[in-house]
Amino acid sequence: MKVWLLWLCLALAVAAEGGRRLTFDCVPRDFQVAVQQGDLWQPCPRNLRNQVEVPDTPESPRFRLMRQGYQTLELQVPAAHWKSGPEQRWPPALHQVLTLSPQILQATFHTRPAGAQIFLISAAGRQEYLGLSGQPLSLNLARLTGGSGQGYFEIEFRHWGCLPSRVPIASYTFSPGQNRWPASGSLPLPLRYPLWPAVPALLLGALWLRRQSSQRPSPLNRPCLGDYWIRQALGWGAAGKVFRAEHRHSGRPVAIKVLHAHLADQSIHLAAFRREAALLAELDHPNLVKVLEWGEDLGRPYLVMELVEGSDLRTALSVDALGATALAPLLVQAASGLAWAHSQHIVHRDIKPENLIVTAAGRACWVDFGLAEVEPTPDDVSGTSGYLAPERLAGAPASPASDQYALGVLAYEALTGELPGTTPELKKLRPALCPHLTEVIQRMLSHHPSDRYPSLLEVERALWAGM
């Protein structure tokens, strides 16, 4: 009898595993899935392998990916997607990732007295300054709720002479467009002291609030981001800011890149930042910065990388041009790192001295893959002017050959202190330079891609031959 029961359980398990299954690769990870059946949307539970059971119908099923605080993503998977097997992934390309965009809305909070400071209180007790009551605020629901299933967040109002008031607010009370909270009237803040003895203090407080309102504190003034203690700022650019940090438990020093707050609310910049994280996570080479992990904290995406102690090549060039003896080893390492990225079908697209870090030990390491692409598109001239290959300026897509040209421009500038013109004359500017190194750089700067080296691996070998 026990044997028959065992066979019956096994048969049921096999039957349960039957049918079509689909795995969605989506950020953030803890999302919910629903499938359209007729005019209704039915929730799709996921199994232990994070797979969704798909109805076995000839039609192409439609799905909705949902998460609290994010916009719903609706998509259709072609029925022919399962021709190669019952278990599939979406999107089909391994380097592609679906992205849910945060919900952004406008809200104005009203208190009595007006001008109270508004702070978001996270589940971990951290505080983030949002603005002042009576002023319209742009709210990121994903950051406010932290993606919680309940959709609640806590707001604390603070005003000079009043007791702090912490209020739980449900995100579903807000609608797209302009919102007012509370719906009518104002939230009264209890006075800390009787008013008449506090008149001088209130006057001073009004002056202090006026100064504070013109200097909105950054959310990154808090010393913690995820599992890391923020120690100091290392630098910043158009897309984000880089901090030196330490892991809270192991004490490991790292570098953390955080997307600017005004860009985190824009889906195009958010997708580019996540694409950079996904690309770097696949690269493992001593001359490419290594990504340790990436995630979000209160809606702010961040990228945790190894800490490369050193300075960028631009800093070295600001002092003086480099000699052939100092440049050749750095050029070999730079070509080696890019050759590895090209072998993984990744084009950097923004080769310049600012993106090459050199350590005290002489290690060269490429950073900032924010413009990198797996499949570059035509008519995209993203990059830094002066380092763009002639074919890029003519509208051709980025390629390993255009990265090679940009590396040649970097080498030319490092030796001469200036960018090459339409006809580079390295031999005239540096007549005492090693003829072999001059020949390698001149070939990298060839106008036509076919006249350059077949790959940066060949450039690396040519440089080694002259050392």
Where along the chain do its domains lie? 19-97, 102-186, 227-306, 311-465
| Catalytic residue set | 350
Q: What pLDDT does residue 335 have?
A: 93
Beta bridge partner(s), residue 108:
136, 180
CA 328 to chain centre: 33
Top-level class of domain 102-186: mainly beta
Report residue 282 as tokens: 């696949």
Task: Assess if CATH 3.40.50.80 describes domain 227-306.
Answer: no
The parts of the chain modelled with pLDDT lower than 70 are 1-18, 48, 146-150, 193-199, 211-222, 237-238, 319-321, 370-383, 467
Query: CATH number of the domain at 19-97, please?
Result: 2.60.40
Same fold, 19-97 and 311-465: no
Q: What is the 3-state secondary structure (H, E, C) of the chain?
A: CHHHHHHHHHHHHHHHCCCEEEEECEECCCCEEEEEECCEEEECCECCCCCEEECCCCCCCEEEEECCCECCEEEECCHHHHCCCCEEEECCCCCCCEECCECEEEEEECEECCCCEEEEECCCCCEEEEEECCCEEEEEHHHHHCCCCCCEEEEEEECCCECCEEEEEEHHHCCCCEEEECCCCCEECCECCCCHHHHHHHHHHHHHHHHHHCCCCCHHHCCEECCEEEEEEEEECCCEEEEEEEECCCCCEEEEEEECHHHHCCHHHHHHHHHHHHHHHCCCCCCECCEEEEEEECCEEEEEEECCCEEEHHHHHHHCCCCHHHHHHHHHHHHHHHHHHHHCCCECCCCCHHHEEEECCCCEEECCCCCCECCCCCCCCCCCCCCCCHHHHCCCCCCHHHHHHHHHHHHHHHHHCCCCCCCCCHHHHCCCCCHHHHHHHHHHCCCCHHHCCCCHHHHHHHHHHCC
Report residue 442 as tokens: 């001149």
Single-letter residue type at 455: S
Q: What pLDDT does residue 65 have?
A: 92
Please compute, for residue 50, the number of CA atoms within 13 A of its CA located in the half-sphere on the CB side: 9
Beta bridge partner(s), residue 310:
359
Q: Is the preceding peptide bond at 397 cis, omega within 30 degrees of 0?
A: no
Q: What pLDDT does residue 187 have?
A: 93
What CA–CA distance (Å, rounded) separates 178 from 174?
9
Radius of gyration, CA atoms only, the chain? 28
According to CATH, the superfamily of the domain at 311-465 is Transferase(Phosphotransferase) domain 1 (1.10.510.10)
Q: What pLDDT does residue 153 have?
A: 83
What CA–CA distance (Å, rounded) separates 407 from 403?
6
Please compute, for residue 93, the number of CA atoms within 13 A of its CA located in the half-sphere on the CB side: 7
What CA–CA distance (Å, rounded) separates 156 from 109?
11
What CA–CA distance (Å, rounded) separates 224 from 127?
11
Q: What pLDDT does residue 110 have?
A: 95
pTM comes to 0.52
Taking Cα atoms as reference points, which of 37, 38, 99 lies closest to residue 72?
Answer: 99
Q: What pLDDT does residue 326 have?
A: 83
Pairing of β 117-121 and β 127-132: antiparallel
Are 246 and 259 in contact, with CB atoms under 8 Å apart?
A: no
Taking Cα atoms as reference points, which of 179, 205, 178 lies closest to residue 191?
Answer: 205
Q: What pLDDT does residue 11 have?
A: 42
Pairing of β 187-188 and β 111-112: parallel
What CA–CA distance (Å, rounded) separates 390 from 387?
9
Report residue 383 as tokens: 């990059």
